[in-house]
Amino acid sequence: MPICLCNKISKGLRYYIDESKTTMKGESSMLFNKPSDNSTKKIEQLNPYLENDMDQKLTTDNGVKLTNTDDSLKIGERGPTLLEDFHFRQKITHFDHERIPERVVHARGFGAHGVFQLYESMAQYTKAKFLQNPNVKTPVFVRFSTVVGSRGSADTVRDVRGFATKFYTEDGNFDIVGNNIPVFFIQDAIKFPDLIHAIKPEPHNEVPQATTAHDTFWDFVINTPETAHMVMWTMSDRAIPRSFRMMQGFGVNTFRFINAQGKAHFVKFHWKPLLGVHSLMRDEAQKLSGKDPDFHRRDMWDAIEQGNYPEYEFGVQLIPEDQEFSFDFDILDPTKLWPEEVVPVKIIGKLILNKNVDNFFAETEQVAFCPANIVPGIDFSNDPLLQGRLFSYEDTQLSRLGGPNFRQIPINRPVVPIHNDQRDGLHQMRIHQGPVSYFPNALAQNSPSPADEAEGGFAHYTQKVEGQKIRSRSQSFRDHFSQTTFFWNSMSQAEKEHIIDAFHFEVGSVKDKKIKQAVADMFAHVAPELGSQIAAGIGVNPPPVTAPNGVTAYSPALSQENTIKTARTRKVAILVDNGYCPIAVQAMTDMLKGAGAVPEIVGVTLAPITGRSNAKLEPGKSLITASALAYDAVLIPAGDHINALKQNADARTFINEALHHCKTIGAMEEGIDLLKVTDAAALTSNMSFNGSAPWVFQGIVAVSGAANLKPFGTEFVNQLAMHRHWGRSAQLANLVL
Ligand code: HDE
């Protein structure tokens, strides 16, 4: 049952949280007993700020009712406009100032509300309140983002994705400002401006937008070998996710957990999506940038509106403090991951995103994350990238959100009370009473007063630090290639091919031949075959022959090949025209929905479609408004519509596009004839399509008899769950089409 969170019920506002959707799947209510009501605290806090103009009279910002908002005040109907027109001036002035500076990085993002709940108490490791009790539900706000592009850039560009989470805990706000890649380009925050200047559009002409495929980025890479590991991740499929719902999140930097006894563990944070980690193809991602620049936003928004709430498990990697030096990498080096096989990820809870924002600007644009937002029980490490980040985020909000009171913006407010002597500043929203705004004081009996640790006061972890004041890099940060090779070794054949393809596109777009040569030479140190294959595609000499660097280790956890595979929430286009078979369409729609997939009828136009036996269908999309790029699979149902579809170039293109992007394709009975006039014909030329069982090859499923509908549906769903059939691209490349 939905719970009403506000006494005020107004038209058009969404005051409800459907609690049934926020409980933990697969967990009995006995385990969590009665969850405490914390999960709704943030939404309740935001509710009074919601505005609804429905059925109200138009006013100025001063509350004066207006009779007209279409004509400015003039002398005579054709005369000059008067300065005294306060309504005109207020309306235009407000409009003139509607924009704020976009984030210098991570400008394009998309946010949603959710709930976090623990599976088991972490009291052994940390005293953070929200990590103690599995009955407590903590409200969260998550913002996903790309890094390089500006606010209006496309979603599906090759880039790192931000995954920033704000936990509104009973101890105050805790932020994990993470990425979907576990390592970073640089080791010291002082290099961040150099990295970002090199990655962003080049300053003389502001070209190119939202891409690393240009000279300055690769110039920086070849001169900064510590980038090697993350460059490999960025050239991999991780940098073109299928969905925000299907990517991992990593805190990247090393933090500390501290328990009630003062014992510390180093910790790294992980988010693992329950839909698995899946990606687009390069060609598909690039085309989607034009067809649907909002692809990831739309995907997330729609999933939440449909009740397909994205879920991520929360994991921690823990290293006892006395084992800081037990590894063959420095655990404070942010260009290194902690291999899961060496330091297992302990899964301790789950995040469910269950509510879209009411207003993008007020919430997603104004949310301010900061890795320095920590709570008692969590502390920093000396990771030099983290140390710099602790300053930067706070600082950037001052110019972005216009002054020191940005924490008073509703989305940024903690759900616990705030009491201190900070006063005034631009956009102060509080009305502090009384004469005292200093400490210590007698006039207000020292209020507000510091809390001791037993009362929940934050005490910094006591750490002994000694050393020379020095501007230099630790020797233990010098190995840039072992883990890079480890990542390369962990990739499947298809993933390796995609990485080489990405290098060919990205470095192939570089103009300076010396830079291109240096990239091939640099990545030959990762693996000789990688360097030579990069060189072969970008028109430079093969790198000097070097012996492999001897790293043979690999991690199955790093390959997307080994991820969760499910048909849940996968989008399937059902291609239909007049004469379709309603039994086939209905049965497949039911089966797909039963598997949690999202089928959609795509007609030739948006006109209602008539099937056999006068059945009727209303298409959701047409061949003009839809593209195979936006779906995970295409289904061609049986029916007399196939003759018309065979003649339709758009229908053939639709199937070819899905085919070349290695998506699942299903053809039922007459539907097979449509397959035969596409590029699929070359793949399937020696197949007879006869027999009773469904026929499956490289993600193409076909069936010839109506009686075999059920096994066909089951096989189609199985293939859909595979996500993509990468082997097909090699097959297609070898065929003469
Ligand atoms: Fe950020 N980063 N960053 N970053 N970062 C910002 O803060 C910075 C780094 C990350 O959705 C900025 O509020 C420095 C690593 C995310 O609002 C800025 C360094 C990781 C977001 C900033 C790093 C991140 C940001 C710009 C090097 C993954 C978007 C706007 C030391 C662990 C948060 C803002 C959102 C945003 C600085 C490196 C993740 C300028 C100096 C490593 C997800 O403060």
Q: Read off the pLDDT of residues 256-282 as tens digits, 9 standing for 90 and up.
A: 999 999 999 999 999 999 999 999 999
Estimate to the nearest angstrom the gap between the alpha carbon of 268 and the chain centroid: 19
- pLDDT higher than 80, residue 692: no
- pLDDT higher than 70, residue 392: yes
From 100, 103, 105, 194, give the residue whose CB has the most ligand 1 atoms within 8 Å, as the site to mutate.
105
For the segment 85-113, the average pLDDT, to the nearest whole number, is 97
Q: For all residues of the chain together, what is the average pLDDT?
A: 93
Lowest mean pLDDT: which of 34-38, 369-373, 438-442, 675-679?
A: 34-38
Question: 524 C-alpha vs ligand 1 centroid, how far in Å?
Answer: 31
The pTM of this model reads 0.94
Confidence category of residue 18, pLDDT binned at 50, 70, 90: very low
**pLDDT in the model for residue 737:** 59
Question: 617 C-alpha vs ligand 1 centroid, how far in Å?
Answer: 48
Q: Which residue's alpha carbon is at the smallest distance from atom 22 of ligand 1?
A: 393
| Type of residue numbered 46 | L
Q: Which residue's alpha carbon is at the smallest distance from atom 3 of ligand 1?
A: 389
Taking the C-alpha atoms of residue 220 and residue 195, their distance in angstroms, rounded to an integer, is 7
Q: What is the DSSP string of 629-653?
A: GG-SEEEE--BTTHHHHHH-HHHHH
**DSSP secondary-structure letter at 78?**
T
Question: 360 C-alpha vs ligand 1 centroid, how far in Å?
Answer: 20
Question: 583 C-alpha vs ligand 1 centroid, how far in Å?
Answer: 53
143 is in an annotated binding site: yes
**pLDDT in the model for residue 682:** 86
| Type of residue numbered 4 | C
List pLDDT tens digits, range 520-569: 999 999 999 999 999 999 999 999 988 999 999 999 999 999 999 999 99
Question: 104 C-alpha vs ligand 1 centroid, how far in Å?
Answer: 9
**pLDDT in the model for residue 33:** 44
From 393, 394, 399, 400, give the residue whose CB has the most ligand 1 atoms within 8 Å, as the site to mutate.
393
- pLDDT higher than 50, residue 32: no
Give catalytic residue positions.
Answer: 106, 179
389 is in an annotated binding site: yes
Q: Which residue's alpha carbon is at the smallest distance from atom 7 of ligand 1?
A: 393
Angle (nearest 5°) at CA 155 between 305 and 295: 40
**pLDDT in the model for residue 704:** 87
User: Which one, of 369, 422, 374, lies nearest residue 396 by Cα?
Assistant: 369
**pLDDT in the model for residue 684:** 80
List Cα–Cα distances, 308 to 17, 533, 683, in angstroms. Answer: 14, 42, 35
For the segment 479-488, the average pLDDT, to the nearest whole number, is 98
Residue 580 pairs in a beta bridge with 639
How many C-beta atoms surround the C-beta of residue 550 within 10 A?
7
Report which ligand 1 atom has the smallest distance to the Cα of 188: 31
Q: Which residue's alpha carbon is at the smallest distance from atom 23 of ligand 1?
A: 389
**pLDDT in the model for residue 2:** 36
Question: 188 C-alpha vs ligand 1 centroid, how far in Å?
Answer: 13
Report which ligand 1 atom has the smallest distance to the Cα of 163: 43
Cα dihedral value 197, 532, 552, 548, nearest 10: -100
For the segment 232-238, the average pLDDT, to the nearest whole number, is 98
Residue with tokens 């933090």: 255
Taking CB atoms and a 6 Å cutoff, what residues make up the pocket around ligand 1?
Answer: 103-106, 109, 143, 145, 162, 164, 177-179, 184, 189, 192, 252-253, 368-369, 385, 388-389, 392-393, 396
Helices (H) and strands (E) in the chain — how many of each?
Answer: 20, 21
**pLDDT in the model for residue 736:** 59
Report which ligand 1 atom has the smallest distance to the Cα of 386: 31
Are 272 and 215 spatial neighbours (Cβ–Cβ below 8 Å)? Answer: no
Q: Which two tokens stand for residue 358?
A: 């009411």
Domains, the chain, ordered by start? 109-412 (2.40.180.10), 481-561 (1.20.1370.20), 565-734 (3.40.50.880)
Q: Which residue has the higher pLDDT, 555 or 39?
A: 555
- Cβ neighbours of residue 408 closer than 8 Å, sequence gap 6 or more: 427, 428, 429, 430
Q: Which residue's alpha carbon is at the smallest distance from atom 25 of ligand 1?
A: 106
List pLDDT tens digits, range 574-625: 999 999 999 999 999 999 999 999 999 999 999 999 999 999 999 999 999 9
Question: 370 C-alpha vs ligand 1 centroid, how far in Å?
Answer: 8
From 140, 392, 397, 409, give the residue whose CB has the most ligand 1 atoms within 8 Å, as the site to mutate.
392
103 is in an annotated binding site: yes
Q: Which residue's alpha carbon is at the smallest distance from atom 19 of ligand 1?
A: 389
List pLDDT tens digits, range 402-432: 999 999 999 999 999 999 999 999 999 999 9
- pLDDT higher than 70, residue 208: yes
| Type of residue numbered 603 | G
Q: Which residue's alpha carbon is at the smallest distance from atom 42 of ligand 1?
A: 184
400 is in an annotated binding site: yes
List Cα–Cα distances, 104 to 141, 150, 477, in angstroms. Answer: 21, 8, 28
User: Which one, of 246, 231, 254, lies nearest residue 279 by Cα?
Assistant: 246
From 100, 177, 363, 391, give the residue whose CB has the most ligand 1 atoms within 8 Å, as the site to mutate.
177
- pLDDT higher than 80, residue 361: yes
Provide the ipTM: 0.98
Confidence category of residue 690, pLDDT binned at 50, 70, 90: confident
Q: Considering all CA atoms of the chain, what is the largest pairwise distance in Å, rounded to the nearest integer?
A: 93
Report which ligand 1 atom has the smallest distance to the Cα of 393: 44
Question: 369 C-alpha vs ligand 1 centroid, how far in Å?
Answer: 8
Are 34 and 135 spatial neighbours (Cβ–Cβ below 8 Å)? Answer: yes
- pLDDT higher than 70, residue 236: yes
Residue with tokens 């080994």: 562
- pLDDT higher than 70, residue 252: yes
**pLDDT in the model for residue 98:** 97
Confidence category of residue 364, pLDDT binned at 50, 70, 90: very high
Taking the C-alpha atoms of residue 6 and residue 527, their distance in angstroms, rounded to an integer, is 60
For the segment 84-103, the average pLDDT, to the nearest whole number, is 97
List pLDDT tens digits, range 119-168: 999 999 999 999 999 999 999 999 999 999 999 999 999 999 999 999 99
Q: Which residue's alpha carbon is at the smallest distance from atom 29 of ligand 1?
A: 106
